[in-house]
Structures are given as structure tokens and as C-alpha cells.
């Protein structure tokens, strides 16, 4: 029962440690939604929300729920005009979502002329952890919070293809070199020098290694560790598999301009085939049965939370 003054005088890290207040599950406010075509999307939302809620009640112990507030909200983007909080899940439409947030906040007229670099390196959007404690709490309690997720194996393979099968000035020298050095026997000098040409099996060996030569990365980190869906009560759970429909319904919910629609274009490597279940199957063939099982186990919580069927 800390007073506001006491809360503000202490750092979030000191007083929030171990504190957990179960969030209330509010019905979606769909008063701004026009037309009757959204009935199925709305119904899917209610099912996803109550499914996640039941999962969190069933599986979470108080011990697991202890985390620092600032860390908890570090991946959440803020759009103050329409009171939106968006938790970024890479490889689940996040580039186009950031474009949409830039349009909503008045930073751009259209999502179609914002470059990839502007989206990811422009520092145009604010994250929730940049606000003071009161600002964080006010927004968590009053803004519409959304998360968009994807089948975990599809997301993983998509990340691998994007970062390791195309030239990349960060992932090859930082991750690629370390992965090849540790997991490739008789690696040649060129591979060790550039870090290019990492094989999927080597990447999985790195992922499953408790003594990884380089740390975790947000592109293949579990959603449970990026967005904390059992601690933050997301009002809207979108899925990559129904991305456009979910996103356009969400835009109506928050009162976005009628002409703003979620972009359809693929952000990068547009000529590549999208990572589908069939594409994933081809990559999983490179792994042993045990490696496939361990990879599934790695994403087990994400499969359960968002009701994805095991591959």
C-alpha cells in the first residue's frame, strides 16, 4: 500500500521486485467499429484472450511472475495519439506495425514510403520503458495493448533465413563467426573470417546450447520472454496467420483514420517465398529427431500460450 509519493521516490527496480497484481480482463471496446463484417474476428479475439487467461492461471506460479517493471515493458512501443501499446515480436509483422504506428502518431503520411532503415534505426517511436514510473503505469492501465504472434517454428525459420541466408553486416560477423567456430568441424578460413554460410543445423545447435558462444537475440527469443503475456494483460492478440484481418480490425478499435490499412508488402527479400509450414518442414528435415523435439521444447510455452498445434 505505497503512497504515490513513495512509489515515485523509489526506483522501479527496487519496489516492483516480486510484486504482481493480476490484471483485470476488460471486454474489448468496439464502439468505433463500423460494419458487421468483423463479427468473426471479434469472436476469435475473445477466444484467444480467454484461452491465454486460462493458461496463465493454470501454469504460472508466483515465483515465475517476479520480474522488474522496466524490463517487463522494454519491448513495448507507445503511440500516444490513439493510446496504443504494441509489443514487438520480430518476424510477426513488426516492421509494418512500426510503420503503422508512425502514421498513427503523425510522423508519416503513408506506411508505404517509410524505408526499412527508418523503421528500425530511425528512433522515431518511443518505448514504454523511456517513461517515468507514473507514465508507465498510466499507459499500462489506460491504453489498448496489443501483441501479434506467429507459429514458433515458422518464426524461427523465418529469422534464420532473413539473418543467415542473405548478406548481413551484423549477424554474420557477430553470430555467424561464433556459431561456425564452435559447431563446424574443420571450418575453412573464409567461413571463420566472414561468418557467412551458417547451416540451419548449426544455428539450432547454438540455440539449444546452454553455453552459447553469443547471447540470445530478439528475433528468436521466445514471445514469453519478450512480451510477458501472463504479466501484461493484452487487450488484443493478433496472429501472423490472420495478420491483415486482425490488424485492420484493431485499427478500427482504436479509431485510426479510415484510409489507413495495414500494409500488405513484404518488408525485405520480397522475391523470397514466404516461410510457410511446407518451407519449415524442409528445414526441420536437416535436424535429428532429438533436435526437433528439443527445439519444440524450447518454444513450448509459446505453443501453449497462443494455442498453436505442435508441428
Number of domains in the chain: 1
Establish if 196 belongs to a structural domain: no
What does pLDDT average to over the chain?
A: 87
Establish if 286 belongs to a structural domain: no
Establish if 175 belongs to a structural domain: no
Establish if 206 belongs to a structural domain: no
pLDDT tens for residues 150-204?
A: 999 999 999 999 999 999 999 999 999 999 999 999 999 999 999 999 999 999 9
Q: Which of 69-83, 131-145, 263-277 has the lowest mean pLDDT?
A: 263-277
pLDDT confidence of residue 57: 87
Long-range pairs for 50-58 at CB < 8 Å and ≥24 separation?
A: 50/25, 51/307, 52/229, 52/230, 52/234, 52/237, 52/305, 52/306, 53/25, 55/230, 55/304, 55/305, 56/229, 56/230, 56/305
Rounded Cα distance, 311 and 307, in Å: 12
Establish if 291 belongs to a structural domain: no
Determine the length of the chain. 311
- Joined grid coordinates for residue 231: 504479466
pLDDT tens for residues 202-233?
A: 999 999 999 999 999 999 999 999 999 988 99
Q: What pairing do the DSSP bridges indicate for beta strands 126-127 and 76-79?
A: antiparallel
154, 277 contact by CB (below 8 A): yes
Of 59 and 121, more confident: 59
Q: What band does 264 get if pLDDT is binned at 50, 70 and 90?
A: confident
Rounded Cα distance, 306 and 23, in Å: 18
Q: How far, in Å, are 61, 142, 186 from residue 85 at the CA level? A: 26, 10, 48
pLDDT confidence of residue 36: 77
176, 169 contact by CB (below 8 A): no
Q: What band does 63 get if pLDDT is binned at 50, 70 and 90?
A: very low
Q: What are phi and psi of 147, to 5 degrees?
A: -140, 140
Helix, strand, or coil here: 238? Answer: strand
pLDDT confidence of residue 270: 63
Establish if 270 belongs to a structural domain: yes
Rounded Cα distance, 157 and 238, in Å: 20
235, 28 contact by CB (below 8 A): yes
Crossing angle of the two packed helices 243-253 and 94-104, in degrees rounded to 10: 20
Establish if 90 belongs to a structural domain: yes
Rounded Cα distance, 210 and 220, in Å: 15
Over range 22-50, report the average pLDDT. Answer: 81
Domain that holds residue 259: 38-152+221-275+302-306
Helix, strand, or coil here: 147? Answer: strand
Of 302 and 273, more confident: 302
Of 69 and 78, more confident: 78
Rounded Cα distance, 104 and 174, in Å: 35
Establish if 171 belongs to a structural domain: no
pLDDT confidence of residue 98: 92
pLDDT confidence of residue 267: 65
Rounded Cα distance, 126 and 5, in Å: 25
Amino acid at each position: 500500500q505505497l503512497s504515490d509519493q513513495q512509489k515515485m521516490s523509489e526506483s522501479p527496480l527496487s519496489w516492483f521486485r516480486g510484486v504482481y497484481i493480476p490484471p483485470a480482463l476488460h471486454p474489448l471496446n468496439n464502439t468505433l467499429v463500423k460494419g458487421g463484417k468483423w463479427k468473426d474476428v471479434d469472436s476469435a479475439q475473445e477466444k484467444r484472450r480467454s484461452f491465454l487467461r486460462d493458461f496463465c492461471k493454470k501454469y504460472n506460479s508466483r515465483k515465475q511472475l517476479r520480474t522488474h517493471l522496466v524490463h517487463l515493458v522494454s519491448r513495448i512501443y507507445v503511440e500516444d495519439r490513439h493510446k496504443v501499446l504494441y509489443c514487438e515480436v520480430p518476424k510477426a509483422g513488426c516492421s509494418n506495425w512500426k510503420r503503422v504506428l508512425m502514421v498513427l502518431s503523425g510522423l508519416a503520411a503513408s506506411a508505404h514510403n517509410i524505408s526499412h532503415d527508418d523503421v528500425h534505426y530511425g528512433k522515431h517511436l518511443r518505448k514504454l520503458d523511456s517513461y517515468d514510473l507514473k507514465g508507465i503505469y498510466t499507459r499500462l492501465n489506460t491504453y489498448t495493448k496489443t501483441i501479434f504472434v506467429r507459429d514458433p517454428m515458422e518464426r524461427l525459420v523465418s529469422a534464420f533465413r532473413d539473418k543467415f541466408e542473405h548478406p548481413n553486416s551484423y549477424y554474420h560477423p557477430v553470430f555467424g563467426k561464433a556459431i561456425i567456430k564452435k559447431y563446424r568441424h574443420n571450418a575453412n578460413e573464409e567461413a571463420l573470417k566472414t561468418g557467412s554460410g551458417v547451416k540451419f543445423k548449426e544455428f539450432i545447435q547454438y540455440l539449444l546450447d546452454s553455453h552459447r558462444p553469443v547471447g540470445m537475440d530478439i528475433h528468436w527469443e521466445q514471445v514469453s520472454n519478450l512480451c510477458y503475456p501472463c504479466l501484461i494483460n493484452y487487450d488484443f492478440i493478433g496472429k501472423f496467420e490472420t495478420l491483415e484481418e486482425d490488424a485492420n480490425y484493431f485499427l478500427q478499435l482504436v479509431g485510426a483514420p479510415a484510409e489507413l490499412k495495414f500494409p500488405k508488402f513484404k518488408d525485405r527479400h520480397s522475391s523470397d517465398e514466404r516461410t510457410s509450414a511446407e518451407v519449415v518442414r524442409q528445414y526441420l528435415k536437416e535436424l535429428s529427431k532429438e533436435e526437433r523435439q528439443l527445439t519444440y521444447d524450447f518454444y513450448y510455452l509459446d505453443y501453449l500460450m497462443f494455442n498453436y498445434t505442435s508441428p
